[in-house]
Amino acid sequence: MRSAKLTVRETAIFGLLGALMYASKILMEMLPNAHLIGAFIIALTVVYRKKALYPLYTFILLTGMFAGFANWWLPYLYIWAVLWAAAMLLPKRLPPRIAPLAYMLLCGLHGLGYGVLYAPAQVLLFGLNYQGMIAWIAAGLPFDVMHGISNFFCGALVVPLIHAIRLAERVSARQGA
């Protein structure tokens, strides 16, 4: 059983993984609503379970630091945690034939539901009533559909990411790091 306390090694690894998530987002900004964040969150959750929150919130902190801690950033504090929680509900070891599709569906559903997940912040920050919230969700639906589709296909990288992370962990363990 892993300790709940972070080691220096884990702190470094999680910091680098959070920075990698942020860098991947920046590199893919030219594509509308396409990014690897969902794939990273699911892969890290499968491998590190609760400790996946460390690189996740490192990514969120870096996003705020470089793009500004404005109103748009506040929902990041919970939107990505919803995906982490959903990934935590999946069995630790999915059958190899089911895992890729399950991860792709989870990524896609999170992207599709992004506007709905963002809506509570819009209500609280801007005082939207129920009709205003529904109008806001409806206006963003085309973007959420695009987001869901791109997340679905990016989710195909979850299994290779899991294998790469586990391989790196095994190599690191053999080297005594």
CATH code (residue 49): 1.10.1760
What pLDDT was estimated at residue 113?
Answer: 98
| Whole-angstrom distance, CA of residue 18 vs CA of residue 56 | 6
Distance between alpha carbon 58 and the CA centroid of its chain, in Å? 11
Residue 140 lies in a domain: yes
pLDDT band at 1 (very low <50, low <70, confident <90, very high): very low
Residue 1 lies in a domain: no
Residue 116 lies in a domain: yes
Residue 92 lies in a domain: yes
Residue 3 lies in a domain: no
Full residue range of the structural domain in which residue 88 is found? 8-174
| Whole-angstrom distance, CA of residue 153 vs CA of residue 108 | 8
| Whole-angstrom distance, CA of residue 105 vs CA of residue 111 | 10
| Whole-angstrom distance, CA of residue 164 vs CA of residue 94 | 17
Q: pLDDT tens digits, residue range 14-42?
A: 999 999 999 999 999 999 889 999 999 99
Mean pLDDT, the chain, rounded, equals 95
Number of domains in the chain: 1
Closest CA to 155 of 20, 60, 40, 8: 40
Residue 163 lies in a domain: yes
Distances in Å between the Cα of 173 and the Cα atoms of 51, 165, 170 are 18, 12, 5
